[in-house]
Amino acid sequence: MQSNSQAAVADAPARTTQGARGKPRPQPPYAVVVYNDDEPTFEYVIETFMKVFGYPQEKGFQLAREIHARGRAVVWSGSKEVAELKRDQVRGAGTDFYASQPVTFPLGVDIEPMPG
């Protein structure tokens, strides 16, 4: 059984912005970008991607390797609201106990609009 607030959310239209002629157009997708940092371990980054994004271990490893090699990588893209949630989940992943000295600060992560 849905409460009134749940029904209102279910019936809410998708967010749009106004185009040049006042016609609604969908918002652009947003990217979740993770930045390289030498402190967190690959194991921690991979585990975080598996938990937050549901990625298999191999995809988490590929993304961690790309971040390490290029300094950053887009790890997910979609609606702004979900991108904000994913960013916050990555930031809240907790301490990296795989490191020789536990790393207590979060991964460097942000969101940015995708081109288009």
Domain assignment present for 67: yes
Closest by Cα among 86, 88, 90 to 76: 86
Could you tell me the residue range of the domain that residue 52 belongs to?
36-116
Domain assignment present for 110: yes
The pLDDT of residue 84:
98
The pLDDT of residue 2:
40
pTM of the model: 0.78
Domain assignment present for 19: no
The pLDDT of residue 18:
57
pLDDT in tens, the chain (116 residues): 444 444 444 444 445 555 566 777 778 899 999 999 999 999 999 999 999 999 999 999 999 999 999 999 999 999 999 999 999 999 999 999 999 999 999 999 999 999 87
The pLDDT of residue 91:
98
The pLDDT of residue 43:
98
Domain assignment present for 26: no
Domain assignment present for 16: no
Domain assignment present for 25: no
Angle between helices 42-53 and 80-91 (to 10 degrees): 140
Domain assignment present for 8: no
Q: In CATH, what number is assigned to the domain containing residue 114?
A: 3.30.1390.10
Per the structure, the count of domains in the chain is 1
